[in-house]
Amino acid sequence: MPRFAKKNSTRKDILKKMFDEMKKDENGRLYEIGNDEIANITEFEAIPESRHNELIEAYIEEKLAYREDSKACKDLQKINFDFENCGYTDDKDNYPNHNPKVHDNGKDAAFNQLPDGTAIIWGWAGGDWEMDVNFILYLDPSNTIRAYIPSEGNVYCHKCKAAYGSCDCDEDELPNLEEEGIIHEFDKMYADVCNRIQTK
């Protein structure tokens, strides 16, 4: 079943929505971008572009890690994994098996957007005892931040729907990730995202 992203939404659109959500926090938490409390920043435009990645990181670490009652959090709860360690990925070179000849048509174009140019943001999370799980964030047609966890190329236990380290499989059922050379496969994850997320 397809998921839908807001056609032509940009990275800046997603960031502005993240900022707005963090400004309207109902639990009274004072989020920070670096050392600056968001409560003291009056508008998104006041955040220099050089600090946009800090906003993404703050959103993932605070809004998603606390598993608040948002659609994005519910999307991420389809797989059991922890947010002890989490962040964003803005560099496809973090995926050692990425084949730039397969997707690139400009500066990281394929990595940060769907084929029609609609923006996506890559994130990851996992506890110290877990293999990280990768996901994307995007805006849906109602301008709500949503998340999607690609199943293809993403390393987690598909049987238990949990990160390796938190699944309920018997130890002899689990692969030896290091010995078997099991790693996240960006090209497969990206293809999964493109097959599942449509724009309208």
Average pLDDT for the chain? 85
Res 99: pLDDT = 45
Model confidence over 11-39: pLDDT tens digits? 999 999 999 988 877 666 778 887 788 88
Between residues 102 and 126, the one the model is more confident about? 126
Residue 83 has pLDDT above 90, yes or no: yes
Closest to 139 in 3D by CA, of 160, 165, 122, 118: 118
* C-beta contacts of 149-152 below 8 A and 24+ residues apart: 149/75, 149/76, 149/78, 149/79, 150/188, 150/189, 150/190, 150/192, 150/193, 150/196, 151/192, 152/185, 152/188, 152/189, 152/191, 152/192
Highest mean pLDDT among 31-45, 50-64, 67-81, 146-160: 146-160
d(Cα 74, Cα 78) in Å, to the nearest integer?
A: 7
The residue segments making up the domain with residue 168 are 3-199
Residues of the chain above pLDDT 90, percent: 53
> pLDDT category, 79, cuts 50, 70, 90?
very high
- State the alpha helices, DSSP H only, in 92-199: 100-103, 109-112, 186-196
Residue 97 has pLDDT above 80, yes or no: no
Cα–Cα distances (Å) from 54 to 121, 168, 193, in that order, read: 13, 35, 24
Res 114: pLDDT = 93
Residue 162 has pLDDT above 90, yes or no: yes
* Count of domains observed in the chain: 1
Between residues 178 and 5, the one the model is more confident about? 5
- pTM for this structure? 0.88
Res 35: pLDDT = 78
Res 134: pLDDT = 94
Mean pLDDT of 56-81: 89
Amino acid, single-letter form, for residue 200: K
Cα–Cα distances (Å) from 126 to 134, 152, 196, in that order, read: 9, 18, 23
Model confidence over 111-153: pLDDT tens digits? 789 999 999 999 999 999 999 999 999 999 999 999 999 999 9
